[in-house]
Structure 1
Amino acid sequence: MTDIDRRVVLGAVAALASTGPLAAARSSAFPRGFLWGAATAAHQVEGNNINSDLWLIEHLKPSPFVEPSGDACDSWNRHLDDIALVAKLGLTAYRFSIEWARIEPEPGTFSAATLAYYRRLAEACRRHGIAPIITYNHFSLPRWVAARGGWETPEIASLFARYCDRAARALGSLPAYHCTINEANQPLLPYLLRGDKPDRGEEFILGLAAKAVGSDRFGSYASGNRYRARDAMIAAHHAGGDAIRAAVPGAKVGITLALPVLEAAPGGEAMRARAVAETRTVWFDACRHDEFIGVQNYDRKQVGPAGFAPNRTDSMTDDEGSDNWTESLGTAVREAATATGRPVLVTEHGINAIDDARRIKAIDAGVASLARAVASGVPVLGYVHWSLIDNFEWLRGFKPKFGLCAVDRATFARTPKPSAHHLGRIASNNGLKGTIA
């Protein structure tokens, strides 16, 4: 057990002693130093990420994206303001990603200016008393990597390690936590539950992209052979993590996994078991020697004998009908901690909802279930909400609303929603006030 593990577990035990057996979870269930934060990702907020594979795909005709990212939220020019906003809300952590396509726009060519830019962001976090949580890859790849096959290219582990080395050396000891790859396990789940078949139109779109870059090997996140990409991502995670630790002795390195609660619908037990084994267990095994595991949970999904089954209707849903079960987050962190023996950092949790009152309910339900997990002895390091601001949500464009703060699409002005101040109050109380049954 590391010092971090010991401190967190002892904090949880102390909280349990003060509140009594698991009859209730109070705000004191969270240990001293527990992080409360919000997250963004580079491609979704910075804007004009023109050297990335996704920028290329967004501008294909036809494109699977409903609209291009364009200026996104103009965070490239406003990131310091975003960090000040995190501090003003009373949060103590900010998770953001650095963009490989900006740092290494051509193979072996690294931008000193871009590396210095990201270091300034981490420094700004520290000045505001905010723990920077850095993600090295959040879906997007440099276009030249995609042209070589993306995550399926044979040299991806060494390429990713080289990039992680340069970035980690620039960031130094500033980051509190280093996340190698975001939701690396996510692409395989829908692929498996579609019968190991590509999404409709995927091969056509990738053919257009390959033609655009003059390559027949074009590969992107959530495309191609998911099993080959999974194994390559595991190798890249290990190589990248080792590079970060070598560059920054004492660095706390982990990966973030998408962990919706998977329940077996009638007849779906075998398919659920396969989904767990192929999209989770192999990743849990790969994370056992990391300093932490990042858990990203939004919903509960039903698995039938032939794939996804209709959602249950006994809990709140988001704007697209996902099942936002109140115990989803606590269930996910228990699973991850039990399977890996690692401390858990909740790197994403939230809801797609225009109605901000539902976001407040989702936050309260998630924090309450997390408090119960901590009180039962699960070592949890922090809770990071997705997302700080309404942003570009990939194929769906700007329509989904996950943000604690609204963004004016014309002026890019940020306006905190009631949920932002609500999470800030939770942070100042180190949990929900009172007793949670």
Structure 2
Amino acid sequence: MRSVSLVVTRKLLAQVLVVCLAASALIAGSAHAGAQTRAVEGFHWGVATSGFQVEGSNADSNWKRHVDGAASRGEADPVNDAVDFWNRYEEDIARAADMGVTTFRLSVEWSRIEPQPGQYDEQALRRYDDILSTIRAHGMTPMITMVHYVYPGWLVDRGGFLSPDAVEAFGRYAELITERWAGDGTMWVTFNEPLVFFSHELRIGLVGLHQFNAFRDNVVAAHKLGYHAAHRADPDAMVTANEAYLPAFAPATDDLLLNHIRGELDFIGIDYYYGIALDNLTTIRAAWDDFAGVRPQPEGMYESIVHYAKHFPGMPLYIVENGLPTDNGHRGDAIDRGDYLRDTVFWIQRAVADGYPVIGYNHWSLVDNYEWGSYDSRFGLYQVDVLTDPALERRPTSGVDAYRDVITRGGVPEGYRPVLPVGMCSLGTIPDTCLNPVDVHGPLATLAG
């Protein structure tokens, strides 16, 4: 039976591929023929970082405890001082500004701000004052993440985000930081990827699978407190909780999270990294942290935008995270970071030209960082060899010049064609992407910062 099933499967797959190729040939050059090129003013060109991953000098937290234990057993890289953003923020912020970046995403560390319940570290708060003032002095808008997977050790002792007082404790913290830093266009992310947050907590042994609903309900309640705190501090605040786009699973993840908070979202924050297609099943490698082994599909960015535009009509869309991983600066397929970045922006411009309301894009990340147990996966526009270079030198990748050029132009120029091949039939949208593939010859919007 097994051999017969394989034969049938192969025949069906061959037939599907023939249909896809035929449909692509018939449709190419015809889709969107009547669309007009658009110019979008005030587009956010951003970079992204996260406190625990770049700051160094980390305070007691759920992740600090886990990493210290895992590193002592040889199961993880020690975080050490990461890239020491805590002390080198001025130079890194200047690097972002030099590329023309207009929005700088960072997270502030609750564990650093409130090292003990009800006790606030004024020195840490003043350092964040300086960091945010430096961002604004360079003409950039801060996008502040309240919790990027990390929270204080004292909350771990109480049960983490399953604790009966977790929501209330978060609410006090959110009030403090929004009163202090809201205004002047500051944008807010309450929780980074809440569903991935749960998977991280599962990974480090702080929750069980059977506790998902309780965890999710507490995060939803906490998000709402953070949302309203930001709006009390600034009625014009833009607040979200970003979520990772997972092809084929996005409707389910919407039901698990975003549909619970759609009344407390000012924009949809999208994280897009991976696609999956009939001719590209490499995404499975991410399951065992072989991120650089995944073949990127920049055109999946268009698919993610269409999904959220349809499921959350009328909501602005912002690509809060997107980037290309390498294995210590190398990729087996030799894909270039600059090419990947330009291709990704191309697909955003195609989406905007087709009328989808994308208002911003953040590249993850400004510098290499600690990827939750390892320094091997490199996403930085600037490469930093944390474990081997005591000087922590920032070395520009091809992405730096590419991003500078993209921002200056307001995107890639008319006539640009993607370098990376388009996947055949995204498994997230079969049969639509087989029968109606996105036209690479369509118009491009100009995205002026």
* Normalised-by-shorter TM-score class: 0.7 to 0.9
- Calculate percent identity across the aligned residue pairs: 30
Cα pair 2:183 2:233 within 8 Å, conserved: no
Amino acid at match of 1:168: T
Query: Considering only CA atoms, is the larger Rg found in Structure 1 or Structure 2?
Result: 2
Q: Which residue of 2 aligns with 1:79?
A: 89
- Alpha-carbon distance, 1:142 to partner: 0.5
- TM-score w.r.t. the length of structure 1 is 0.78
Q: Is the 8 A contact 2:62 2:156 kept in 1?
A: yes
Residue identity matched to 1:59? D
How far off is 1:188 after superposition?
5.7
1:230 pairs with 2:216: yes
Residue 393 of structure 1: aligned partner: 371
Cross-structure match for 2:391: 411
Residues 42, 97 of structure 1: 8 Å contact kept: yes
SS of aligned partner of 2:53: helix
Contact 2:317 2:357 in 1 (8 A): yes
Instruction: After TM superposition, give the deviation of residue 434 of structure 1 in Å.
Output: 1.7
Q: Is the 8 A contact 2:187 2:237 kept in 1?
A: yes
Q: Which amino acid aligns with 1:375?
A: A
What TM-score comes out, normalization by structure 2 length?
0.76
Matched residue, 1:118:
128
Q: C-alpha root-mean-square deviation of aligned residues, in Å?
A: 2.9
The reply to whether residue 280 of structure 1 matches residue 254 of structure 2 is yes
Change beyond 3 A, Cα 1:416–1:185? same
CA distance 1:189–1:369, shift in 2 (3 Å): farther
Runs of 4+ in 1 over 6 A off after TM superposition: none
Give the SS at the match of 1:350: coil
Mapped to 2, the partners of 1:171 and 1:299 lie a distance apart of 33
Change (3 A) 1:188 1:150: closer
Displacement of 1:223 in angstroms is 7.8
Taking a change above 3 Å as real, the CA distance of residues 157 and 103 of structure 1, as seen in their structure-2 partners, is: same
Alignment partner, residue 430 of structure 1: 410
1:13 — aligned with what? none
- Cα deviation, residue 257, structure 1: 0.6
**Using a 3 Å threshold, how does the CA distance of structure 1 residues 379 and 175 change in structure 2: closer, same or farther?**
same
> Relative to structure 1, is the Cα distance of residues 97 and 115 closer, same or farther in structure 2, using a 3 angstrom cutoff?
same
From 59, 62, 69, give the equivalent of 2:68: 59
Specify the code of the residue in structure 2 equivalent to 1:330. Y
Where in structure 2 are the equivalents of 1:301-380 lying within 5 Å? 301=276, 311=283, 320-341=292-313, 342-353=315-326, 354-355=329-330, 357-380=335-358
Distance 1:175 1:143, change over 3 A: farther
Contact kept? 1:392, 1:398, Cα under 8 Å: yes
For 1:177 and 1:64, how far apart are their aligned partners in 2? 39
SS at match of 1:154: coil
Question: What's the secondary structure of 1:391's corresponding residue?
Answer: coil
In 1, the alpha carbon distance for the partners of 2:340 and 2:178 equals 34
Corresponding residue for residue 33 of structure 1: 42
Q: Distance in 2 between matches of 1:128 and 1:296?
A: 26
- CA distance in 1 between counterparts of 2:34 and 2:134 reads 38
- Which of residues 29, 42, 46 in structure 1 aligns to 2:51? 42
For 1:256 and 1:87, the matched residues in 2 are separated by: 24
Secondary structure of 1:244's partner? helix
For the 8 Å contact 1:48–1:69, the answer to whether it is kept is: no
Render the CA deviation track for 1:308-348: whole Å, top value 9, x for unaligned: x76499xxxx8532242232112112212221232111110
Gaps of at least 5 residues in structure 2 are 1-29, 418-439, 441-449
CA contact (8 A) 2:337 2:398 kept: no
Q: Which amino acid in the other structure matches residue 406 of structure 1?
A: Q
- The CA distance in 2 between the partners of 1:30 and 1:38, in whole Å, is 22
The letter for the 2-side match of 1:132 is P
Give the superposition deviation at 1:67.
Answer: 1.2
1:92-111 equivalence runs, <5 A: 92-111=102-121
Unaligned runs of 5+ in 1: 1-19, 192-197, 207-218, 263-271, 304-308
Give the distance between the partners of 1:326 and 1:246, measured in 2 at CA. 38
Pairing 1:194-233 to 2, within 5 Å after superposition: 206=205, 219=206, 225-233=211-219
**Match for 1:294 among 266, 269, 273?**
269
1:11 corresponds in structure 2 to none
CA displacement at 1:149 relative to structure 2: 1.5
